[in-house]
Amino acid sequence: MIIQNVLLPHRIGRYDVLVDGATVSAIADSIEAEPGVRAIDGTGKVLLPGFVDAHSHLDKSMLGRPWYSRKPRDLNQLLADERAMRSAPDWDAATQIRRNADVMIANGATHTRAFADVDTEIGLSGVEGMLQVREELRGALTMQVIAFAQSGVSGRPGTAELLDAALAAGADIVGGMDPCSYERDPVEHVDLIFELAERHGAGVDIHLHEPGELGAFSASLIIERAKAVQLPRPVVISHPDFLGSVAPDRAARIIDDLAEAGIGVTTCVPSGGPMPPLKALAEVGVAVGVGCDGQLDSWGPFNRSDMLLKVYLLAWRCGFGGDDDLQFAVDLATSGRVMGLPDHGVGEGSAADFVLLPGATVGEAVVGLPTERVVVKAGRVVAEEAADVG
């Protein structure tokens, strides 16, 4: 495959990008491709690395099912209903995961960190569905599976054993939940998560919705463990919105600690409340990922598995209107660092995982939200049109 006359991020001018198998073999002003090589015209388009949806909940999606009428929001009720829905005979975990994953791919993601709930009611069905879909989509989507204690560990005896079994079955990462506000015994929870990770050589990803100083305290426990234990995969804090609500000098010290401990963060760009200071995080070298979170699930009907839309919302939310700032937003959303893939990008020798979008600049491709999106995974076109966009 050769993509011709295309704009690339952080480069001036237009280039030809030659793909050999699953790898970029050459980038130059003009490349003579051999006859028979598929040529894609990149005129008027930008070629970005495939989006990395660094925080997804594919197992919760109700895509393809009838519209769901919600009760007034109440966390415990919501969790109970969610477990019940997924224990019902008409719920097939792999089917729902696949529906969401197909939308995610069509919209331009080539990689995702996917949470799969593990609890004493649904057991490992979510993880098993995820592993099945990972296999089915091996040629289209790189998936890291997170065995996630969504309903908590301390209040549900047997959950720790299930997480252990999920990691043994092939999950890559163990996922924890608000150590203080949900688990109620933060030290015990963080210790348990790190012990599981250490035992299986897994990564860690902890949902931290806790606001302000409470979130900062939980983060300090995670930082402490991350410094003490050397894990082969990244440690990530999801939703670190507390960094946007504590005093800026305090946030700066925590951000330095995160950098020193090698902890990454992912944001799903909350629709309200504080936003973590993304530029400050990136400046000191913290790996920052962006994710679409859940898509049409118990948690709300608004989200879409569309990383381009997520970048648009991120940029708008942060006041990133100029071309350089829009490029920065795209850099975060295409960064492979939280997945432990530092080389994900468009360069000679990199994997041929791209999304090709109409636009005179990267910024226009974001703001214009085009539905024409050519998605390339491992050198093969896997999608050509966005899905579920209204």
- Give the integer Cα–Cα distance in Å for 160 and 176: 11
Cα 76 → chain centroid? 25
Q: Does 10 bind other proteins (CB under 8 A)?
A: no
The minimum distance between CB 364 and other proteins, in angstroms, equals 4
Q: Does 300 bind other proteins (CB under 8 A)?
A: yes
Coil vs helix vs strand at 29 = coil
Q: Does 313 bind other proteins (CB under 8 A)?
A: yes
Contacts (CB under 8 A) with other proteins, residues 47-76: 66-67, 69-73
Half-sphere exposure of 45 (CA within 13 A, CB side): 23
Find out whether 227 and 260 touch, Cβ atoms under 8 Å.
Answer: yes
Q: Does 318 bind other proteins (CB under 8 A)?
A: yes
- Give the integer Cα–Cα distance in Å for 377 and 40: 14
Q: Does 317 bind other proteins (CB under 8 A)?
A: yes
N- to C-terminal Cα distance for the chain?
Answer: 31
Q: Does 322 bind other proteins (CB under 8 A)?
A: yes
328 to 61, 111, 280, 335: CA distances (angstroms): 29, 19, 12, 10
Among 31, 180, 259, 367, binds other proteins (CB under 8 A): 367
Q: Which is nearer to other proteins, 35 or 72 (CB)?
A: 72
Residue type, 60: K
Q: Does 364 bind other proteins (CB under 8 A)?
A: yes
Q: Which is nearer to other proteins, 26 or 275 (CB)?
A: 275
Q: Which is nearer to other proteins, 284 or 360 (CB)?
A: 360
Among 261, 361, 378, 380, binds other proteins (CB under 8 A): 361
The minimum distance between CB 8 and other proteins, in angstroms, equals 17
The 10 Å Cβ neighbour count of residue 136 is 14
Q: Which helix (H) or strand (E) holds 142?
A: strand 142-148
Q: Which residue has the tokens 């930008």?
A: 46
Q: Does 319 bind other proteins (CB under 8 A)?
A: yes
Among 188, 360, 372, 384, binds other proteins (CB under 8 A): 360
Q: Does 245 bind other proteins (CB under 8 A)?
A: no
Among 8, 326, 357, 375, binds other proteins (CB under 8 A): 326
Find out whether 318 and 270 touch, Cβ atoms under 8 Å.
Answer: no
β-pair type (14-20, 2-7): antiparallel
Q: Does 301 bind other proteins (CB under 8 A)?
A: yes
Catalog residues that contact other proteins under the rule CB under 8 A: 66-67, 69-73, 77, 271-272, 275, 296, 300-302, 312-313, 315-319, 321-326, 359-361, 363-364, 367, 388, 390
